């Protein structure tokens, strides 16, 4: 379902719409066990995307999802902002080295 969400997000953005369409009731996704699909499409001004239009966005949607995962991993690894500020105050070079390692270990696509 997540990748369909990202494909729809990209399709909306390519058509000058925002992801908010997914949260305001204009689009409803459903999974009846055979895979997720668009159950309701009431987006003003653009037609419901075809499977081929959505499949064309697969690579970009996967990249988007991977970067969301990487961002979450980095955020966890960075730790509490208060502790980071204390670390910066005590030894900014050690902090920079630690943050660089986290980014190097979790590169964005």
Supply φ then ψ for residue 37, to 5 degrees: -145, 170
Averaged pLDDT score across all residues of the chain: 93
Question: Which residue, chain included where needed, has tokens 């499949």?
Answer: 55
Beta-ladder partners of 27: 41
pLDDT at residue 34 is higher than 90: no
How does residue 109 score in pLDDT terms, banded at 50, 70 and 90?
confident
Euclidean distance between CA atoms 81 and 11, whole angstroms: 35
Predicted TM-score (pTM) above 0.95: no
Supply φ then ψ for residue 40, to 5 degrees: -130, 135
The DSSP string of 10-46 is HHHHHTT--GGGGTTTSEEEEE-SS-EEEEEE--TTS
Euclidean distance between CA atoms 91 and 71, whole angstroms: 25
How does residue 22 score in pLDDT terms, banded at 50, 70 and 90?
confident
pLDDT at residue 92 is higher than 60: yes
Euclidean distance between CA atoms 84 and 94, whole angstroms: 11
Which pLDDT score is estimated for 5?
92
Euclidean distance between CA atoms 66 and 97, whole angstroms: 24
pLDDT at residue 1 is higher than 60: no
How does residue 55 score in pLDDT terms, banded at 50, 70 and 90?
very high
């Amino acid at each position: 379902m997540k990748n369909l969400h990202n494909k729809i997000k990209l399709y909306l953005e390519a058509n000058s719409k925002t992801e908010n369409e997914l949260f305001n009731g204009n689009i409803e996704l459903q999974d009846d066990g055979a895979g997720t699909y668009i159950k309701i499409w009431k987006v003003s001004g653009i037609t419901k995307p075809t499977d081929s239009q959505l499949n064309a966005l697969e690579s970009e949607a996967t990249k988007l999802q991977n970067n969301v995962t990487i961002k979450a991993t980095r955020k966890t690894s960075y730790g509490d902002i208060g502790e980071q500020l204390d670390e910066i105050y005590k030894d900014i070079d050690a902090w920079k080295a630690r943050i660089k390692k986290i980014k190097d270990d979790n590169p964005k696509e």
